[in-house]
A and B are shown apart, each in its own frame.
Chain A
Amino acid sequence: MTDLKQVNKSKKRVDAKAKVTGKAKFGADLKFANMLYGKVVRTKYPYAKIKNVDISKAKKYPGVEAVMTAKDIPNNTFGVIIQNQRVLAEDEAIYIGDGIVMLAAESKEAAEEAAKLVEIEYEELKGIHDPLESRKPDAQLVMEGTDSNQVVHHPLRKGDVESGFAEADLILEREYSTQYIEHAYLEPEAVTVVPNERQTLVSVYGSVQNPYATRDAVARVLETDLSQVRIIQDNMGGSFGGKDENISSMAARAAVMALATDRPVQMVNSREESIIESYKRHPYNLKYKIGAKEDGRLTAMEIEAVADSGAYACQTPFVTWRSVVQATGPYEVPNVKTDTYGFYTHNPYTGAMRGYGSPPTCFAQESLMDELAAELGMKPDELREKNMYRQNSHTASGQKLDNHTVSLQEVLDKAKKSINFDEKYEKYSKEQSGEKKRGIGLAISYRGVSLGAEAIDTTGGIVAVQKDGSIILYCGLAENGQGLRTVFSQVVGEELGVNLDRITYMEADTSVAPESGSTVASRSTFMGGNALKKAARNVKDTMIEFAKEEYGVEGNIIFKDNALYTEKGKKVEDFAKVASDAFHSGVFLSSYGWYKAPKISWDEETGQGRPYFTYVYGCQIAEVEVDTGTGQVKVLNMAAAHDVGKAINPANVRGQIYGGVVMAVGQALMEDLGFSDGFINHTNFDEYLIPTVKDIPDIDAIIVENPDPAGPYGAKSIGEPTVELGGAAINNAIAVATGDRHYDLPLNLEKVLIGRDLSREG
């Protein structure tokens, strides 16, 4: 590969300047003429019949322009997979965040005061709050129109686990649980819907993670064409998968009110509203049975993972699908029986959250591997090395890992070296004096890139070279804060030899950019990068053809430093001049690039096939200090080695690693919704705790690069792999420090000090 100028360089983010000056606008910063402020009145109980709704007083409050219920909504349901999410609840509320009444008023204060005047009569019902209960055949049904509470079941069968276990010298059976996780994006949900703007029925502005999914929802709710709904995404104050269905719901509500009043309607959640209404990471209950020979070789794994889908299906079918694919962890196991399930409950609904279906399974399976190693008298890394994937290994789905570099050994070695694992493991495994004890623990993972068998996996982009040589990029993938504006600009800049300051990446606009699937699954660099690279290539070819004719150039033409050069290094013309000349000669300098992911396959009965077209590999090792007198855990160091194929922007990749590790620290030690019987008790950041700067470990972010043949410049994925490993690594480190193994997250003060959680209910 020739020397890269833009790619594989830590280019400064193109959106940074606007953000450090406060000029970058976020959803709640927008002001439209004549704008109304929307508010939602939500249920008082997790499960209740809505007997009567009296909006008469609210309607009369000065400044109120609209008060509406489910009756006023053209089509009250939507959903990415199963369309059973209600915009507003009508006959019954089925989870604590269900909205019942919405209103719009001239001021925020008027909206808030009017909301207090809505009178709702409830009949509180006894709900079902445990998926292990709601799965039972005689359990009360949560979702109308169903005959069971099962949202989904994914089976995977490989070999024969019975004979596998019979072969084993040692069998361990353990049960794990992981908790609800709130995304806790710093920016609460915010959208503004403008009716009858330009050529569309509604335009939606704001904090939208997946513009096309939101467009689908709004168009469906309004019963109008997709072309009549325009979503224009503003800067997002974080999402992590969390601004999908809840934003669609918010946009649909605002849209109905905007059309009814013919005025823009802005809806912004308070933090409490955000935490109470928005979907969460699925809590999982996981049962693992593992069989191994004395020498550590795994013979069989039997896994059952039950996810709490809450009131709506949301993305449970896909989240649990990733779980079924990856539940064994990155190990060659000849006999595997995995079943993943999602069940409805009267709990907060659950959906996409960074990592999707793998943080829970990774926590369980990597904790189990450490426990197994200890039982076998092996070091944790030894057991991993005995079983982990190598080149041409076969996964639990029977997929041969041969089309990319399988780098588990490399990430493991690099992480170990960085944190001095061998020495520390030996030291900390011995008796330690004092009450503050140290430990070290590792976790490894593999992760399928992009959507796999969940949905059609395609992305489109447009590269439009303007007549002055500046370039406009469009892509259906949305900047969530993760940096894809910059990464995409780098890819195009590299192809066309143009510096980033001449490239403008437009915010996602569903009326302009091609529908590209959602900005999820850490797929943007790979999919969007490929699409834009193609588009740029097309434009490049056009320009080359033009240049050859126009300037009489022979041989190859090189694009670099904002100009075109001959192979021999002689400058042909400035890029800007070529663009201008081409334009004035009637040459079209825009191009679409459409990228369809490589073929995958999946058998729904057996879980066999090629579920993902490529994988990334990661290893994280945590060094902790446990205060055995108080239960406090300090994560001192974390070595995080991730194979990303190619780092388009190394500084960005490091940022994703730091962010993912710290998110995992929160999940492992402190994040807790205070959930009980359908109620969320921790509704703001004073009680739902995420790590502050004083809670972070020293992190060594180790970028490993084994270029993927299919990735743009070899690049693959980084966003989610960084968040799935920390839980197990910390749990394993605590086990080394204290001798105690834990099975339920979070590992808070109580669990670490006295071995169990405490709650007001006892």
Chain B
Amino acid sequence: MNKELNYYSVKEVEEAVKLLADNKLKLLAGGTDFMVDYRNEEDFLTGYDGILDLSNIDGIDEITESDNHIEIGAMVTHKDLVKSDLINKYYPALAQSAAAIGSTQIRNRATIGGNICNAAACADTLGPLIAFEARAILESVNGKRTMDVSEFVKWPYETEINDNEILISFTLPKPEEGTFSGFQKIGRRQALAITRISLAVKAVIESGIIKDINLVPGSATPVPTTFSEVEAEIKGKKLSEIDSKEIGEKAAEEMVGITGERWSTPYKKPALATLFRRAIKNLQEEVANNG
């Protein structure tokens, strides 16, 4: 433990980025990853001048609605996502993925910003964020930067964030009429479970036709990515005519196309096929029920 470490707690984003401009600081959000990594990694704080606590910054822990967008502050907790009327209304898949994380205690504390910046391969909210075409907003002394979340997370534990930046929020476009979404997760137990494989889906259905669809599996590829081959296959087609089994198999092939044969592939192929199959079927049922 480095006793020389400085600790900064600020109330404004402006203060935070000023500090980051001049110091190499480790960012502290909810602490649920920070404290584990600090304990397990010898060099976690090596080379850092101090710790910058983001938990007291005004204005980045709220979910706000504007005409075309919903903005989710980086310090919004998973519990907030689960309970939010706005999230449940517009982005059910995101609420479902947040509900599937960890445990009540973890959800009460872990933030969406912290979770995405940590960028674990199995981060459950990443898939839905990509499926909803969320954008990440970063800020530094040089101003704001915005990019697609799919670009922001490059590789497991690697993001585009610069040393002098903090992530302040995500913006998600409000879904258009006819949007359906869902999230499925497979874990080895029903709580406190690392995701073995998951699938986030967001689809826009117009007159029974798939106008647009994003299918983003989690823990299937190094970082969650939209499965464009399968999507291209079914875009523009009549939802009720899609053979869900076929789509499942195609998705499994697309995954192997990205990852190659890995030790876990014999399980992930059929399991992913199941999730895709069910996503399509659920969509078909939901759309049929909604008339």
**B197 vs chain A, min Cβ distance (A):** 8
Contacts of A686 in B (CB 8 A): 192, 194
Q: Is A692 an interface residue (CB 8 A)?
A: yes
Could you list 30 A-B pairs, sorted by A, with CB under 8 Å?
A109-B1, A435-B274, A629-B271, A629-B278, A630-B186, A630-B271, A630-B275, A670-B189, A686-B194, A687-B194, A689-B189, A691-B189, A692-B189, A692-B190, A692-B192, A693-B191, A694-B189, A694-B190, A695-B189, A695-B190, A695-B191, A749-B188, A749-B196, A749-B267, A750-B266, A753-B267, A754-B266, A754-B267, A756-B266, A758-B266
Beta-carbon contacts under 8 Å, A685-716 to B: 685-687, 689, 691-695
User: Known contacts A631-B271, A758-B263, A758-B267; can you find 11 more A-B pairs with CB under 8 A?
Assistant: A629-B271, A631-B267, A632-B186, A670-B189, A686-B194, A689-B193, A694-B189, A749-B267, A759-B263, A760-B263, A761-B263
Interface residues of B (CB under 8 A from A): 1, 103, 186, 188-194, 196, 263-264, 266-267, 270-271, 274-275, 277-278
Could you say which of A629, A691, A695 contacts B274, with CB atoms under 8 Å apart? A629
Asked whether B186 lies within 8 Å of A749 as measured between CB atoms, the reply is yes
Asked whether B270 lies within 8 Å of A753 as measured between CB atoms, the reply is yes
Q: Is A649 an interface residue (CB 8 A)?
A: no
Contacts of B263 in A (CB 8 A): 758-762
For chain A, give the interface size range.
20 to 34
Q: Is A340 an interface residue (CB 8 A)?
A: no
Contacts of B194 in A (CB 8 A): 686-687
Candidate in B192, B267, B277 with the most chain A CB atoms within 10 angstroms: B267
**A634 vs chain B, min Cβ distance (A):** 8
Could you say which of A629, A631, A687, A758 contacts B264, with CB atoms under 8 Å apart? A758
7 smallest CB-CB distances across A and B, nearest first, come from: A629-B274, A694-B190, A692-B191, A694-B191, A750-B267, A630-B186, A695-B189
Task: Report the nearest A residue to B270, measured CB to CB.
Answer: A753
Contacts of B270 in A (CB 8 A): 629, 753-754
Asked whether A670 lies within 8 Å of B188 as measured between CB atoms, the reply is yes
**B263 vs chain A, min Cβ distance (A):** 5
**A540 vs chain B, min Cβ distance (A):** 51
Beta-carbon contacts under 8 Å, A499-535 to B: none
Candidate in B194, B264, B274, B275 with the most chain A CB atoms within 10 angstroms: B274
Q: Is A323 an interface residue (CB 8 A)?
A: no
Contacts of A762 in B (CB 8 A): 263
Q: Is A748 an interface residue (CB 8 A)?
A: yes
Contacts of B275 in A (CB 8 A): 630
**B101 vs chain A, min Cβ distance (A):** 13
**A313 vs chain B, min Cβ distance (A):** 33
- In the bound complex, how far is the Cα of B116 from the Cα of A602, in angstroms? 64
Asked whether A749 lies within 8 Å of B189 as measured between CB atoms, the reply is no
Could you say which of A629, A748, A754, A761 contacts B188, with CB atoms under 8 Å apart? A748
Interface residues of A (CB under 8 A from B): 109, 435, 629-632, 670, 685-687, 689, 691-695, 748-750, 753-754, 756, 758-762
Candidate in A629, A748, A750 with the most chain B CB atoms within 10 angstroms: A629
Task: Report the nearest A residue to B263, measured CB to CB.
Answer: A760
- In the bound complex, how far is the Cα of B197 from the Cα of A629, in angstroms? 13
Could you say which of B103, B190, B274 contacts A630, with CB atoms under 8 Å apart? B274
- In the bound complex, how far is the Cα of B192 from the Cα of A685, in angstroms? 9
Contacts of B274 in A (CB 8 A): 435, 629-630
Contacts of B266 in A (CB 8 A): 750, 754, 756, 758
**A23 vs chain B, min Cβ distance (A):** 23
Contacts of A692 in B (CB 8 A): 103, 189-192
- In the bound complex, how far is the Cα of B193 from the Cα of A435, in angstroms? 22
**A434 vs chain B, min Cβ distance (A):** 11
Contacts of A632 in B (CB 8 A): 186
Candidate in A748, A750, A761 with the most chain B CB atoms within 10 angstroms: A750
Could you say which of B1, B190, B267, B277 contacts A629, with CB atoms under 8 Å apart? B277
Contacts of B192 in A (CB 8 A): 685-686, 692
Contacts of A695 in B (CB 8 A): 189-191
Contacts of B264 in A (CB 8 A): 758
- In the bound complex, how far is the Cα of B105 from the Cα of A692, in angstroms? 14
**A158 vs chain B, min Cβ distance (A):** 42
Contacts of A753 in B (CB 8 A): 267, 270-271
- In the bound complex, how far is the Cα of B275 from the Cα of A149, in angstroms? 48
- In the bound complex, how far is the Cα of B196 from the Cα of A693, in angstroms? 20
Contacts of A760 in B (CB 8 A): 263
- In the bound complex, how far is the Cα of B271 from the Cα of A759, in angstroms? 17
Contacts of A761 in B (CB 8 A): 263
Contacts of B188 in A (CB 8 A): 670, 689, 748-749
Task: Report the nearest A residue to B265, measured CB to CB.
Answer: A758
- In the bound complex, how far is the Cα of B278 from the Cα of A753, in angstroms? 16
- In the bound complex, how far is the Cα of B275 from the Cα of A151, in angstroms? 49
**B201 vs chain A, min Cβ distance (A):** 16
Asked whether A749 lies within 8 Å of B271 as measured between CB atoms, the reply is yes
Task: Report the nearest B residue to A750, measured CB to CB.
Answer: B267
- In the bound complex, how far is the Cα of B190 from the Cα of A689, in angstroms? 11
Contacts of A693 in B (CB 8 A): 191
**B83 vs chain A, min Cβ distance (A):** 19
Contacts of B271 in A (CB 8 A): 629-631, 749, 753
Contacts of B191 in A (CB 8 A): 692-695
- In the bound complex, how far is the Cα of B11 from the Cα of A337, in angstroms? 76
Task: Report the nearest B residue to A687, measured CB to CB.
Answer: B194
- In the bound complex, how far is the Cα of B3 from the Cα of A109, in angstroms? 12
**A145 vs chain B, min Cβ distance (A):** 39
**A669 vs chain B, min Cβ distance (A):** 8
Task: Report the nearest B residue to A272, measured CB to CB.
Answer: B40
Task: Report the nearest A residue to B248, measured CB to CB.
Answer: A629
Task: Report the nearest B residue to A746, measured CB to CB.
Answer: B188
Contacts of A670 in B (CB 8 A): 188-189
Task: Report the nearest A residue to B192, measured CB to CB.
Answer: A692
- In the bound complex, how far is the Cα of B188 from the Cα of A10, in angstroms? 36
Task: Report the nearest A residue to B186, measured CB to CB.
Answer: A630
- In the bound complex, how far is the Cα of B267 from the Cα of A756, in angstroms? 9
**B248 vs chain A, min Cβ distance (A):** 9
Task: Report the nearest A residue to B266, measured CB to CB.
Answer: A754
- In the bound complex, how far is the Cα of B274 from the Cα of A691, in angstroms? 25
- In the bound complex, how far is the Cα of B194 from the Cα of A670, in angstroms? 13
- In the bound complex, how far is the Cα of B272 from the Cα of A753, in angstroms? 12
- In the bound complex, how far is the Cα of B193 from the Cα of A749, in angstroms? 13
Candidate in A685, A692, A748, A760 with the most chain B CB atoms within 10 angstroms: A692
- In the bound complex, how far is the Cα of B283 from the Cα of A238, in angstroms? 47
- In the bound complex, how far is the Cα of B264 from the Cα of A686, in angstroms? 19
**B88 vs chain A, min Cβ distance (A):** 21
Contacts of A748 in B (CB 8 A): 188
- In the bound complex, how far is the Cα of B278 from the Cα of A754, in angstroms? 19
- In the bound complex, how far is the Cα of B203 from the Cα of A123, in angstroms? 59
Contacts of A685 in B (CB 8 A): 192
**A526 vs chain B, min Cβ distance (A):** 35
Contacts of A629 in B (CB 8 A): 270-271, 274, 277-278
Contacts of B190 in A (CB 8 A): 692, 694-695
- In the bound complex, how far is the Cα of B252 from the Cα of A629, in angstroms? 13
Task: Report the nearest A residue to B190, measured CB to CB.
Answer: A694
**A270 vs chain B, min Cβ distance (A):** 9
- In the bound complex, how far is the Cα of B267 from the Cα of A629, in angstroms? 11
Task: Report the nearest A residue to B102, measured CB to CB.
Answer: A686
Contacts of A687 in B (CB 8 A): 194
Contacts of A756 in B (CB 8 A): 266
- In the bound complex, how far is the Cα of B186 from the Cα of A632, in angstroms? 8
- In the bound complex, how far is the Cα of B270 from the Cα of A689, in angstroms? 23
Contacts of B278 in A (CB 8 A): 629
**A224 vs chain B, min Cβ distance (A):** 39
- In the bound complex, how far is the Cα of B193 from the Cα of A695, in angstroms? 11
- In the bound complex, how far is the Cα of B270 from the Cα of A136, in angstroms? 40
- In the bound complex, how far is the Cα of B263 from the Cα of A433, in angstroms? 32
Candidate in A687, A689, A748, A762 with the most chain B CB atoms within 10 angstroms: A689
Task: Report the nearest A residue to B103, measured CB to CB.
Answer: A692
- In the bound complex, how far is the Cα of B103 from the Cα of A694, in angstroms? 11
**A523 vs chain B, min Cβ distance (A):** 33
- In the bound complex, how far is the Cα of B231 from the Cα of A570, in angstroms? 89
- In the bound complex, how far is the Cα of B188 from the Cα of A748, in angstroms? 7
